Amino acid sequence: MKRPRDVRLKHGGRWILSALCAAVFCVLSADAHAQDPVRLYVDGVLDDDNGAGIAGRSFLVLAADALREVSPSQWQPNAVEASDVSLALLYGGQFMMAGRDDSVRTPEAAEQMKPRATWFLGFMEGRTRVAVPRWWKDALLSVEARETAKEGGVWFRDLEDIISRQQKLAVEEAPKGTFRLKCDAREISISDHVLEPTGISMAGSLGFGDTIAATLADDTLWLAVSSDSSCSLVSVDLGENQVHWHRKAWMAVPTPAGSSGMGVGPGWVSLVRAKNEIAVFGGNHDGLYANSFDATTGVPRWRFFTGRLGMN
């Protein structure tokens, strides 16, 4: 026996209504997900190259928004519990530099910075599984609180002195725009013609006193060039004489071009290889930063910076 027509329409209407409700829920959920500061931060970390984050929002704004989502007492627990490495480092860095249970700097909170910095270094190496360079550790352990938050929160007392004592990578200019450097006990030659698509100029970098770091595996060279406003990382196939990929590392807080005040200078940068990962550890007058990329593809893995942390 067939159902009456009006009953079939009634049930059909229910299906249509359910589908419409589900669609509205999905749209609202997607909008809520898009506006979630923590999610925006995680997505922004993986945004390629320019550090602009999602929808043009700056990395600094994304970080500040994510930190405001939790109370200071939750920074360390959130660092330990976060499944995303970048988010864990953000919470851990804020715990290290800003006091756990108060939003006002106190002498007691300042005294805790050094033991917290020691904790953070162990935490960072455990979460990232990357060995932190000695100079970067020493610089981080020199963290001190400014007298007032207005002065900039924290600073790294020994950073400039540590940078000045580092031995620069020897790069020699050879004929026809070629440059020689010694990397991992091998003599390497690379030309500006090969690097041209990346916008990196070895001649220009040497002329401006930029910091250059390199590491090598088989016929793949990873080269980092740190200037006063950016840090570029490039992967080069020496056998084929071509660039695999090129990325920008996110620095602490580079001084914008044309702005007044003290320039940050090229600072210092080191490269660390860990399995299929290349990590950039850098520092300048604005603080310390670390970025990691997939060694084969250049896709960002995680990022950390100290600039503007410690500001509640």
Radius of gyration of the chain (CA): 24
- Give the residue from 137, 299, 288, 163 showing the smallest Cα distance to 233: 299
Q: pTM value?
A: 0.80
The H-or-E segment that residue 25 falls in is helix 5-35
* Tally of CB atoms within 10 A around 196: 12
- Are 288 and 306 contacting, i.e. CB atoms less than 8 angstroms apart? yes
The helix/strand/coil state of 235 is strand
What's the DSSP call for residue 46? T
d(CA 227, CA 169): 15
Tell me the two tokens of residue 191.
Answer: 């030309």
261, 269 contact by CB (below 8 A):
no
- Which range scores top for mean pLDDT: 68-72, 221-225, 250-254, 262-266? 221-225
Sole residue written with tokens 């320019």: 50
d(CA 285, CA 306) in angstroms, rounded, equals: 11
pLDDT tens digit sequence for 21-56: 444 434 333 444 457 888 888 887 776 554 444 445
Weakest-pLDDT range from 136-140, 227-231, 294-298: 227-231
Neighbours of 60 (CB within 10 A): 17
- Contacts of residue 283, defined as CB under 8 A and 6 or more positions apart, other chains included, come to 135, 136, 139, 156, 159, 162, 163, 252, 267, 268, 269, 289
Residue 151 carries which DSSP code?
A: G
Instruction: Say what the pLDDT of residue 8 is.
Output: 44
pLDDT on residue 153: 62
Distances, alpha carbon 138 to alpha carbons 11, 62, 89, 118, 281, in Å: 70, 28, 18, 10, 13
Measured at the CA of 33, the angle between CA 31 and CA 39, to 5 degrees, comes to 140
pLDDT, tens only, 196-235: 888 888 888 887 788 899 999 989 999 999 877 778 899 9
160 burial class (0-12, 13-18, 19+ CB within 10 angstroms)?
Answer: middle
SS3 for 200-233 is CCHHHHHHHCCEEEEEEECCEEEEEEECCCCEEE
Q: Which amino acid is it at 137?
A: K
**Most confidently predicted of 64-78, 143-157, 216-230, 290-304:** 290-304
